[in-house]
C-alpha cells in the first residue's frame, strides 16, 4: 500500500518536473528564437501553442497550470507587470479545455483551427489588462494587424505540433506510465515486438 | 488518439489560478517585488543564454554544412580541407563578432565622448505587443533605468527596467516611445513617435525651411531624456501640411532593426533628467 502510494507520488513528481522543464524550454525558445522565425513582424507564440496542445491531449489541470506558469514566465521577460499574459493564457487554456470536451471529433486539425481564435483571445486579454494597468500598448489598428498575422502563424504551427504530439502520445515511450503497473510499458513493447 | 470526455471544464482550478495571478499582480506593485523579480530573471538568464548559444551554433553548423555540400561537387580533397577551414572560420567569425561589438563600443566612446557598456541581447519580447529586448548587463554594471541604448547604427531605445545582472530595453518599435529630434541640415525640430515600420514625426515648421527626403534625424536632447546627437534614422517621406499649420508630418526610416540586433551599447555617463 505504502509502496504503491510512494510510486504514485514519484511518477507524478517526475512528470511535473518534466512538464516544467518543457515549459521553461518553450518560454526560452520563444523569447530567444521567436525573432528568428519572424514573418510580417510577427513571431510565433510557442507557449500558446503548447497550452492549446496540452488542453486537447493532457487534460484541463495540466493545460491551466501550463497557461498560468507559462504566462507568468512570459510576463517576466517583458517590460511590465506580471499577470497580463498569465491571465490571457489561463483563458486560452480554459477555452481550449472546454472546446476539447464539447466538440464532437477533436483532432490536430481542430486544435490548429482553435489556435486562431485563441490567439485573438490572448491578444484581447493581454492588451486589455495592459491598458487597465496603464501600460503602453500598441494602437488598435496596429494591434489588429499583428493579431491577424499572429493567428494565422500560430494556427499553421499548431497543426504539425498537435499531430506530432498526438503521434508521440500514441507511442509506447510517450505514454504516462501507470504507477500501479510498473511493467506496463515493457509489456506493451513486448506485445508489439511479438506482434 | 483523442477521446471525448464528459467532465465539465475545471472552473474551480481556473478561479484559483486567476486569484493567484491577481495576487501576484497586486504584489508586483510593491517595491520589494522588484527584488523577487530580479531573482527570477537571474534564474532564467542562463537558460536563455544557453538557448541563444545553441541556436547560434546550429545556425552556423547549418551554414557550414550547406557550404560543404556545394564544395563536394569539386573533389574530396578540397572538400575536406574546406570543411576544416570552415570550422575554423566559424570559430573566428564568432570571435570577430564579439571583437566588432567591443571595437564598436571603443569607437563610440572615442567619437561621441560618451562612456558606454557593451551588452549582449539574451532575450526578446514574448509577443509582438511587447517590442522589448533583454540584455545581460544590469545595475551591477552601471546600467540604470532611462539610460539610452545604441548600436553602431544609432539609437535603439532606452532602459525600461534594470536588475543587478539583466535589463530590459524599450525599443523605438514601442508605440509609447517619444524622442525629441532635429534634422541635420534644415535644423527643423520635432517629436518622433515610436511604432512598427516607419517612425512618425511631427516637425515644427519654420519660415523658409523645408524638410527633405534623405535628411538625417538626430536626437535633439530636448527634455533631457537622451543625449544630443544620436542618429535615429533618415527621413523617408515628407507629408503635406495644411495651410497655416505649424507642424508638418514626416516618416523616418529607423536605422535599427531590433530583430537583427545581437549586441548593444548602453550610454552610462548620461543620466536622464
Query: What does the pLDDT look like over A20-62, one tens digit per residue?
Result: 888 888 888 888 777 677 777 788 899 999 999 888 887 788 8
d(C-alpha B120, C-alpha B135), whole Å: 6
User: Residue B222 has what DSSP assignment?
Assistant: G
- Give the predicted TM-score (pTM) of the model: 0.65
pLDDT at B94: 67
- Number of neighbours of residue B235 by Cβ within 10 angstroms: 23
Q: In B, residues 58-97, which contact A (CB 8 Å cutoff)?
A: 59
- Burial per residue of A103-139, b for 16 or more beta-carbon CB atoms within 10 angstroms, e otherwise: beebebebbbbbbbebbebbbebbbebbeeeebbbbe
Q: Does A35 touch chain B (CB under 8 A)?
A: yes
Where does residue B208 fall: left (phi above 0), alpha (psi -120 to 50 degrees), or beta otherwise? left
Question: Closest Cα to residue A89, out of A131, A124, A48?
Answer: A48
Sign of CA dihedral B182, B264, B87, B58: negative
- Number of neighbours of residue A92 by Cβ within 10 angstroms: 30
d(C-alpha B167, C-alpha B170), whole Å: 10
pLDDT at A139: 73
Positions in chain B short of pLDDT 70? 1-9, 59, 62-63, 65-74, 79-80, 87, 90-91, 94, 98, 101-102, 104-106
The residue written with cell numbers 506482434 in the block is A195
Q: CA–CA distance from A155 to each of A150, B115, B131 (Å)?
A: 8, 46, 22
d(C-alpha B144, C-alpha B204), whole Å: 32
Helix (H) / strand (E) element for B133: namely: strand B132-135
- 3-state helix/strand/coil string of chain A: CHHHHHHHHHHHHHHHHHHHHHHHHHHHHHHHHHHHHCECCECCCHHHHHHHHHHHHCCHHHHHHHHHHHHHHHHHHCCCCCCHHHHHHHHHHHHHHHHHHHCCCCCHHHHHHHHHHHHHHHHHHHHHHHHHCCCCCCCHHHHHHHHHHHHHHHHHHHHHHHHHHHHHHHCHHHCCCCCCCCCHHHHHHHHHHHC
Residue ranges of alpha helices (H) inside B28-75 are 33-72
Residues in chain B closer than 8 A to A34 (CB atoms): 124, 126
Asked if A77 contacts A132 with a C-beta cutoff of 8 angstroms, the reply is: no
Best mutation target, A37, A51, A78, A131, to test chain B (most B CBs within 10 A):
A78
* Ordered per-residue pLDDT tens for chain A, 195 residues: 677 777 777 777 777 788 888 888 888 888 877 767 777 778 889 999 999 988 888 778 888 999 999 999 888 887 778 889 999 999 999 988 888 888 766 678 888 888 999 999 999 999 898 888 877 677 777 788 888 989 999 999 988 888 888 787 777 766 665 555 544 444 454 455 455
Question: Closest Cα to residue B94, out of B124, B122, B57, B68?
Answer: B57
User: Residue B164 has what DSSP assignment?
Assistant: S
d(C-alpha B39, C-alpha B176), whole Å: 28
Q: Do B51 and A35 touch (CB under 8 A)?
A: no
Residues in chain A closer than 8 A to B5 (CB atoms): 59, 100-101
Best mutation target, A138, A149, A165, to test chain B (most B CBs within 10 A):
A138
pLDDT at B85: 75
Q: In B, residues 146-185, which contact A (CB 8 Å cutoff)?
A: 160-161, 168, 170, 174-176
Q: Do A86 and B5 touch (CB under 8 A)?
A: no
Question: Closest Cα to residue B120, out of B56, B204, B66?
Answer: B56
> How many Cα atoms sit within 13 Å of B71 on the Cβ side?
17
Residues in chain A closer than 8 A to B132 (CB atoms): 78-79
d(C-alpha B199, C-alpha B197), whole Å: 7
Q: What is the ipTM of this complex?
A: 0.72
B136 three-state secondary structure: coil
Residues in chain A closer than 8 A to B10 (CB atoms): 60-61, 64, 94, 97
Sorted by sequence, the CB contacts under 8 Å of residue B85 that are 6+ apart come out as none
Amino acid at each position: 500500500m505504502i509502496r504503491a502510494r510512494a510510486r504514485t507520488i514519484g511518477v507524478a513528481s517526475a512528470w511535473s518536473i518534466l512538464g516544467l522543464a518543457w515549459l521553461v524550454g518553450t518560454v526560452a525558445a520563444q523569447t530567444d528564437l521567436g525573432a528568428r522565425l519572424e514573418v510580417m513582424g510577427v513571431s510565433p507564440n510557442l507557449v500558446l501553442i503548447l497550452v492549446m496542445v496540452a488542453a486537447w491531449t493532457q487534460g484541463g489541470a495540466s493545460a491551466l497550470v501550463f497557461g498560468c506558469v507559462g504566462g507568468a514566465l512570459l510576463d517576466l521577460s517583458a517590460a511590465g507587470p506580471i499577470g497580463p499574459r498569465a491571465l490571457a493564457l489561463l483563458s486560452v487554456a480554459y477555452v481550449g479545455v472546454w472546446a476539447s470536451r464539447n466538440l464532437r471529433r477533436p483532432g490536430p486539425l481542430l486544435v490548429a483551427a482553435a489556435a486562431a481564435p485563441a490567439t485573438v483571445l490572448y491578444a484581447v486579454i493581454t492588451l486589455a489588462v495592459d491598458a487597465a494597468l496603464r501600460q503602453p500598448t500598441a494602437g488598435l489598428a496596429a494591434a489588429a494587424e499583428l493579431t491577424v498575422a499572429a493567428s494565422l502563424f500560430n494556427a499553421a504551427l499548431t497543426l504539425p505540433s498537435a499531430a506530432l504530439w498526438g503521434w508521440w502520445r500514441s507511442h509506447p515511450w510517450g505514454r504516462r506510465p501507470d504507477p500501479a503497473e510498473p511493467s506496463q510499458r515493457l509489456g506493451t513493447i513486448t506485445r508489439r515486438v511479438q506482434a | 488518439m483523442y477521446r471525448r470526455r464528459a467532465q465539465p471544464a475545471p472552473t474551480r482550478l481556473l478561479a484559483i489560478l486567476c486569484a493567484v495571478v491577481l495576487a501576484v499582480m497586486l504584489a508586483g506593485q510593491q517595491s520589494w517585488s522588484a527584488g523577487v523579480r530580479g531573482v527570477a530573471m537571474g534564474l532564467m538568464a542562463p537558460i536563455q543564454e544557453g538557448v541563444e548559444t545553441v541556436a547560434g551554433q546550429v545556425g552556423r553548423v547549418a551554414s557550414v554544412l550547406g557550404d560543404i555540400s556545394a564544395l563536394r561537387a569539386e573533389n574530396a580533397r578540397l572538400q575536406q580541407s574546406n570543411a576544416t577551414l570552415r570550422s575554423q572560420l566559424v570559430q573566428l567569425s564568432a570571435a570577430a563578432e564579439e571583437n566588432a561589438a567591443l571595437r564598436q563600443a571603443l569607437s563610440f566612446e572615442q567619437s561621441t565622448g560618451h562612456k558606454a557598456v557593451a551588452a549582449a541581447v539574451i532575450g526578446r519580447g514574448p509577443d509582438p505587443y511587447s517590442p522589448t529586448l533583454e540584455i545581460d548587463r544590469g545595475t551591477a554594471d552601471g546600467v540604470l533605468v532611462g539610460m539610452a541604448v545604441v548600436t553602431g547604427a544609432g539609437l535603439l531605445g532606452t532602459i525600461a527596467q534594470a536588475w543587478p545582472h539583466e535589463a530590459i530595453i524599450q525599443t523605438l518599435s514601442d508605440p509609447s516611445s517619444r524622442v525629441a529630434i532635429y534634422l541635420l541640415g534644415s535644423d527643423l525640430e520635432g517629436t518622433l513617435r515610436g511604432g512598427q515600420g516607419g517612425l512618425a514625426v511631427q516637425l515644427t515648421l519654420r519660415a523658409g525651411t523645408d524638410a527633405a527626403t534623405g535628411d538625417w534625424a538626430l536626437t535633439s536632447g530636448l527634455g533631457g531624456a537622451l543625449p544630443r546627437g544620436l542618429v535615429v534614422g533618415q527621413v523617408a517621406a515628407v507629408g503635406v501640411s495644411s495651410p497655416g499649420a505649424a507642424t508638418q508630418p514626416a516618416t523616418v526610416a529607423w536605422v535599427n532593426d531590433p530583430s537583427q540586433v545581437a549586441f548593444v551599447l548602453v550610454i552610462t555617463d548620461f543620466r536622464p533628467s
